[in-house]
Amino acid sequence: MNANNYHLCFCGGFAINSSRLFTALFFDALLINDIKLMSSIRNARKQIRFGHNGGELDVLANYLDSVTCIANLLPQKSDKFAIYKNAVELLYEVICDPLVSKQWRYACLDHLYKPLLNAERYACNESDRITLARLKIDMHVLVPHFL
């Protein structure tokens, strides 16, 4: 399944097997779905960061799926890296925030490996690898203190 089909299925669009069926109307619908998706991701980030909705795991899983969907649409590895790194940093902030419930911090810790592995996969230069290494060192030192 290519990235476009994945995007269409995820965003509630319809699956198309042939690229010949794309029309201007369809691209307009995609743009609207992309705007809705980005708004949904922003809302999910807020909910995850502050542990709203009683820490529902669906919000976390949907956010990580959305991050993967967006990253799959991006052509450059550096852009994919940035998307996954932002997701890692969000989960790291939540884990180290003592004002967020401990259950929610553990849930974020349990899901941290997903964007972290993808960020490692798309780290395409030395600077990206150093950034991830520093983040891992910080996590190794600080996470046990907060959990």
Measured CA distances, 36 to 11, 12, 33, 71 (Å): 9, 11, 5, 16
pLDDT tens for 14-46 read 333 333 333 333 334 444 455 566 677 788 888
Helix residue ranges per DSSP H, the chain: 3-10, 24-50, 57-73, 77-95, 102-111, 113-122, 126-146
pLDDT tens for 59-105 read 888 889 989 988 888 888 988 999 999 999 999 999 989 998 889 98
Q: Are 69 and 6 in contact (CB under 8 A)?
A: yes
Whether the predicted model's global pTM rises above the 0.85 cut:
no
Band the pLDDT of 56: cuts 50, 70, 90: confident
Q: How far apart are CA 51 and CA 94, in angstroms?
A: 8
Residue 142 has, within 13 A of its CA and on its CB side, a CA count of 15
Say which amino acid occupies 86: N
